[in-house]
Structure 1
């Protein structure tokens, strides 16, 4: 449960935020939305695929953190052991929300029920005169950056879709010799054949927009499925 309220210097003058690597709140979420700016880094640990919103048709890139539905292999304990972390993991307990449906203006909100929010420990959000601390300014700018990254990611994935590069793929995984195969449905990947058959203009446009490294990072990341299989097998044997 959350208790979201607008952040303001009067109500939250003596509010602190603790930094934590406890991401167990994602324990039941095996597919984590990410932005294109972190493809290269996250591809070293997680398979990156795309999912499609059934209502809007919009594609979203995600980092796979589990083989089984609703089970994140990395977030079952309070200790984060991976060498890389999705940007979105670190935004809690703060978030950006529009001030109204009619306005593009946004403001920072805080989840007052978060375990990261305290009255005496961590990083203070406002100084004694009610001005934002450097810590809050940094966190607010990070939220704005993430919002911008999310918009860019949406535009880029839409462009991939317009080129028909995103193809549905059923991933079939066999955990061990004694277990049945596990089918992972509903994911999309870049179709290498379609990519290679693009005309020169379309291919050069991808290159000029700087999108080829994203595609290569995505395709390379698919080899990390083996890492998930290993982690799942280790967990099952424990």
Structure 2
């Protein structure tokens, strides 16, 4: 069984293998009530289709670098996810990004120069394997209804990814992104706020200065509501910080050396 080419694996994935009836005729996919692979990951890729739902639970920011992408923050610090416990259980009724729900499957090219995408899975996941639990992935050497459903979901995710790239191209073309910064104070120490950086956000001053015809176009094609969903979601950083504080996951400040 050959793995798919993987110069750099996406977040969560340790390996990728094409799903096929020859090698995986007895494989099943079983649901799981925990996601241990999610523990310690604070920034999850997000598609623009998800902005309206995700903004109710998470801050939506954009990654730094030349090719920024939308991210849902499930924590404000590296290694902190305030929505999962140490066993990977999500105990609160929050929106689960499609990127998380897609794992351990995804569509990938089997050859670097190929145009077609094939359904692959992470063989290190304990949710897929040669066991009797869950849904059979093949029946009489044909893809089962479960596999067709998984494939359909992954195809929808890819289509949402294309719309996300178009959204990012548009806001980059108008130079709307700026380096983000959020200052959050604690009641017991209001003069020394925590400063969070390392992300990008929409520059509201530039947005206010946009031409009326451009804003009208964005409103008609649905881009403007997405921008506002992002901006409204930023206040959720304070909620995430409060959760971190309740869980004892706020970074400890270094005490100054005695003089």
TM-score relative to the length of structure 1: 0.91
Distance 1:73 1:175 in 2: 18
Of 236, 244, 247, the residue aligned with 1:224 is 236
Q: Answer 1 or 2: higher relative contact order, Cα 8 Å, separation at least 6.
A: 1
Of 12, 19, 24, the residue aligned with 1:12 is 24
Indicate if the aligned counterparts of 1:58 and 1:158 stay in contact, CA closer than 8 A: no
* Mapping 1:1-238, distance limit 5 Å: 2-53=14-65, 57-77=66-86, 78-80=88-90, 81-118=92-129, 119-127=131-139, 129-175=140-186, 177-178=188-189, 181-236=193-248
Distance 1:139 1:26 in 2: 20
Distance 1:215 1:2 in 2: 33
Distance 1:166 1:199 in 2: 17
Per mean C-alpha deviation after superposition, the further-off stretch among 175-184 and 33-42 is: 175-184
From the superposition, tell whether residues 193 and 92 of structure 1 become closer, same or farther in structure 2 (CA, over 3 Å).
Answer: same
SS state at 2:237 partner: helix
Indicate if the aligned counterparts of 1:16 and 1:122 stay in contact, CA closer than 8 A: yes
Distance 1:68 1:99 in 2: 35
Indicate if the aligned counterparts of 2:180 and 2:198 stay in contact, CA closer than 8 A: yes
SS state at 2:182 partner: strand
Distance 2:241 2:14 in 1: 33
Indicate if the aligned counterparts of 2:74 and 2:240 stay in contact, CA closer than 8 A: yes
Indicate if the aligned counterparts of 1:176 and 1:233 stay in contact, CA closer than 8 A: no
- Structure 2: segments with no counterpart, 5+ residues: 1-12, 250-259
Deviations 1:83-110 (A, max 9, x none): 2110010112212111212121111112
From the superposition, tell whether residues 117 and 208 of structure 1 become closer, same or farther in structure 2 (CA, over 3 Å).
Answer: same
TM-score relative to the length of structure 2: 0.84
Q: What is the number of residues matched between the two proteins? A: 233
